[in-house]
Amino acid sequence: MFKLNALVPELIVSDLQQSLYFYCDVLGFKLEYDRPEDKFAFLSFGRSQIMLEQDWHDDSPWCVGPLEPPYGRGMNLSIECPDVQALVSALEAAGCPIRRPVEERWYRSHARQFGQKNFLVLDPDGYLLRFAQDIGVR
Work out the burial of residue 29: count CB atoms within 10 Å of its CB; fewer than 13 is exposed, 13-18 middle, 19 or more buried. buried
pLDDT number for residue 130 = 98
Contact 50, 30 (CB under 8 A): no
In the predicted model, is pLDDT for residue 63 greater than 80? no
pLDDT number for residue 61 = 77
In the predicted model, is pLDDT for residue 46 greater than 70? yes
Rounded to an integer, the average pLDDT of 47-71 is 85
Give the dihedral sign, CA 37/23/31/49: negative
Q: How confident is the model at residue 1 (pLDDT cuts 50, 70, 90)?
A: low
Separation CA 56–CA 137 (nearest Å)? 45
How does pLDDT run across 5-44, given as a tens digit for each residue? 999 999 999 999 999 999 999 999 999 999 999 999 999 9
pLDDT number for residue 57 = 67
Q: Which domains does the chain have, with CATH numbers?
A: 10-56+75-137 (3.10.180.10)
Q: How confident is the model at residue 55 (pLDDT cuts 50, 70, 90)?
A: confident
pLDDT number for residue 67 = 82
How does pLDDT run across 76-98, given as a tens digit for each residue? 999 999 999 999 999 999 999 99
Q: How confident is the model at residue 53 (pLDDT cuts 50, 70, 90)?
A: very high
